[in-house]
Structure 1
Amino acid sequence: MFLLMQIIFFLLSLISHEHEAIAAFVPPYSSVVVPVNKHIDAVKPLYSVQIMTAFVNQQYMHANFLIDLDAPFIWHECILQWNTFPGSCPNDTLCTYPASCEEYQCTEVRTTYSYQNPSCSPVTNDSTIPDWGYCTCPVNVVNPITGSCSQALLNYDELTVNTSNGRNVFTGLYGAYPNAACAPSSSFQSFPANVTGVMALSSSPYALPAYLYDPLKRIIALCLPSNLSAPGIMLYGTGPYNLLPHSNVDIRSLLSHTPLIKLPDSFGYFINVNSIVIKTRSIAIPMNTTAKISTIEPFTTLRTDIYNGVVRRFFKVTQRIPPANAVAPFGLCFNTSTNGTQVSIKVPDIDFMLQDGKKWAISTTNSIKQITKDVACLAFVDSGATSEPAIVIGTFQFEDNFVVFDLENSTFGFSSSLLRKQTSCSNFNFTLTDGP
């Protein structure tokens, strides 16, 4: 009996030590990381993240997903197979498992976390998996480029990304298992070349952030590149965030923060703008004006009353620059040619004054768009007299700005232009290492 008690005590001791070791384990990564690519071959500039999908022939397939901060769930080109086994999925095709129309995920996505668009028709449970008879879960998806509605099939997906300590990319991988949706290839005809999916980064419980668990924290860091030759970066996790050539500088130290605002019937991200200041003069805007952060709109849109005030003030402080005929969709343009030679122009910052006195400075590189060799325009667009939200901050205004959506603390962090810090969104070191 005494021997038996000793054995039991020994086993309990081993288990206790194992649990302590697990509790003490600190992973070498603080974030997961993916490259962000810019595309200009669609009707407007767009940005994608590159994600690993299926593991085929001893290597991962990769797919490019359009970044969408509003989408309620992920959807991409794939086909459903109920019982996937080696050789059953066509080559170079992503096959996934379907969600049944009888499962709670199907009901939730359709009713609470669906796309709200009047062009979408009601879905039915008429479809089944061939040769199996199980009902699938059709859901509506909305093309973020055209606004058109089509149907996809909800599935059980698997996505894989690299881990990072915010400075290096590790060979170690992290898997996420979201409920996504399979859409036919025809759904992506208006997308940039080789972009075959929509990556939902919204606050919806069916967007990607909801499927990235401990030790990761719900913090999305996004840095959109301004050029096509080198990628920007998306990190998910606490940081730090380091960019070359100043790899000893944590980008978090450069950020200002303002509260994120939650609006009903939207999974997107909003902030309050108190005023817009150009060269010490404040443009009056209504109290508690809400601004939406968008990765789909290329240029910041302003409701007509706000737009007119910004244009009048900007025209006054740039009178030394020769004007040019306006080029749609812009209303104020400048001549940037002297004797046939293009010259660069420098204009005052446009400061978005936020809560708690925080200032998001929009510098020349983010406010002036070069249209031709001879013409550059103020890259803000009139969105109409009744548009809501009154301000939508477009991608041109935060290219080469480091922005952070902290879902843990409901705050939005922003750096203003990194070019003023002698770095850019394309300066992350994507060289793979085995770890620290």
Structure 2
Amino acid sequence: MLFLLKLLIIVLAFISPEYEAAYVPPYSSVVVPITKHTDAVNPLYSVQIATYWENVQFIHENFLIDIDAPFSWHDCIVQWNIYPGSCPKDVRCVSPVSCEEYQCTEVRTTYPYQNPSCPPDTNSSTLPGWGCTCPVNVVDPVTRTCGQALLNYEYFFSMHTSNGRNMYDGIYSAYPNAACVPSSSFGSFPANVTGVVAFSTSRYALPEYLNEPLKKALSLCLPSSTSSRGVLFYGTGPYNLLPQSSVDLRSYLSYTPLLKHPNSFGYFIGVVSIVIKKRSIIVPTNTFTKLSTIDPYTTLRSDIYNSVIRRFSAVTKRIPPAKPIAPFGLCFNTSYNGTKVGLKVPDIDFSLQNGKKWTISTANSIKKITNDVSCLAFVDGGVTSEPAIVIGTFQFEDNFLLFDLENSTFGFSSSLLLKQTSCSNFNFTLTQQPLN
């Protein structure tokens, strides 16, 4: 009964001018836990989102987080005449977008996947009794290979609401276009992950459908362990983690402008130099730095990478070296005469175009590979790598990142471990949403 009363108040807020002026939602964002997976080729991160209602309960699916994809896609089939019992058991059926509808043309002509393995879009796919469907290309974020999906309607994402400190029992739903791919498309994915959720700047990505009454702000806090959960917020702060639940994480943030790249819906910033122990490695002008939730480690174009390796080798020459283990080029021996040695190395600072710096401390620069070997978690991208710098997820872990889409700025905290907290410290205990 209480849930129905809350729902009635929310509905009245949107249909009545009187309520519209007075109603302020008790939540400031939606919130979902983030899970780290290590059972694929590279570490990946997913969110669990409710996607349909069946037998008086929400059914959830696990989606990889992709801040570059133009739209979301998952394991489902399109079916134009959906009625009870028409959909195969344990299969999600959704309505197709026709090749003649504007959404089909717009998606095909506005998203900039330039992948050599992708064939041209065609209208060759049909459904009996319906006509042509809308095949669109999708790129597997794990293998980078191209596949085909069918654009659909009647798809929804439902997430819990939050005041930044608690997760409420209230539900917020959005209805974006998405696309269906066959179950066989997920062989490279982690177990039980059957979709990709797009958090890019594309008008068909999920943020475009989450704006009322939420503000356009995406926050990511990736966990460093598979046994604990990180947190994703969409909406304004505050954002609070235990044990300092009174501290708004925004107080830890520095900001830099988000840059637009002509061939991507992803997020880019301007790095002007990489500083290691007071010496700067200049990054060529007009160089883009991409932020990625798919690439596992920061990748540098060869000229930049070689300079970083030379400098880092010089400032860590007292640490016994180890034979490099792919894909890394600089590794260290963490055992000395049979004794484990704690590895503490100088910070690496990304100096940004507006004078701010993003500090990469030891927790985000050194990757433990074996009991005896740890490596600098930066990778050589090759001489023609474009973008020249891609900051990967290992550098994101236990950092709080805020993509302010209204003001086109990027906020970053550097390691929360230095603040005696981590991305795994959000309180996901479900609490009752207050009535306004």
Shift of 1:308: 1.2
Aligned twin of 1:14? none
Out of 143, 146, 155, the position equivalent to 2:143 is 146
Shift of 1:89: 2.5
Q: Is the 8 A contact 2:255 2:412 kept in 1?
A: yes
Letter in 2 for 1:20: E
In the alignment, structure 2 segments of 5+ residues that lack a partner are 1-14
Q: Secondary structure of the residue that 1:356 maps to in structure 2?
A: coil
In the alignment, structure 1 segments of 5+ residues that lack a partner are 1-16
Alignment of 1:389-428 (within 5 A): 389-428=387-426
Shift of 1:128: 2.4
Question: How far apart are the structure 2 equivalents of 1:154 and 1:317?
Answer: 52
Letter in 2 for 1:77: D
Question: How far apart are the structure 2 equivalents of 1:226 and 1:18?
Answer: 46
Deviations 1:77-135 (A, max 9, x none): 011222323333333221211111111000111111253312111232232234x2332
Shift of 1:257: 0.2
Aligned twin of 2:133? 136
Q: Is the 8 A contact 2:290 2:387 kept in 1?
A: yes
Letter in 2 for 1:36: I
Q: 1:435 to 1:282 in 2, by over 3 A?
A: same
Out of 107, 123, 128, the position equivalent to 1:125 is 123
Aligned twin of 1:9? none
Alignment of 1:167-178 (within 5 A): 167-178=165-176
Aligned twin of 1:267? 265
Aligned twin of 2:357? 359
* TM-score (normalizing by structure 2): 0.94
Question: How far apart are the structure 2 equivalents of 1:126 and 1:326?
Answer: 49
Out of 364, 370, 373, the position equivalent to 2:371 is 373
Question: How far apart are the structure 2 equivalents of 1:349 and 1:288?
Answer: 25
Q: Is the 8 A contact 2:112 2:264 kept in 1?
A: no
Deviations 1:212-265 (A, max 9, x none): 121111110001100011110110001110011111000011000000000101
Aligned-pair identity in percent equals 71
Q: Which has the larger Rg?
A: 1
Please tell me the root mean square deviation across aligned C-alpha atoms, in Å.
1.5
Q: Secondary structure of the residue that 2:126 maps to in structure 1?
A: coil
Aligned twin of 1:162? 160
Question: How far apart are the structure 1 equivalents of 2:266 and 2:339?
Answer: 43
Question: How far apart are the structure 2 equivalents of 1:254 and 1:243?
Answer: 12
Deviations 1:319-344 (A, max 9, x none): 11111111111111100012333322
Q: Secondary structure of the residue that 2:169 maps to in structure 1?
A: strand
After TM superposition, the structure 1 stretch with the greater mean CA deviation from structure 2, 195-204 or 341-350, is 341-350
Shift of 1:375: 0.6
Shift of 1:435: 1.5
Question: How far apart are the structure 1 equivalents of 2:259 and 2:373?
Answer: 37
Q: Is the 8 A contact 1:224 1:233 kept in 2?
A: yes
Letter in 2 for 1:265: N
Out of 57, 72, 75, the position equivalent to 1:74 is 72
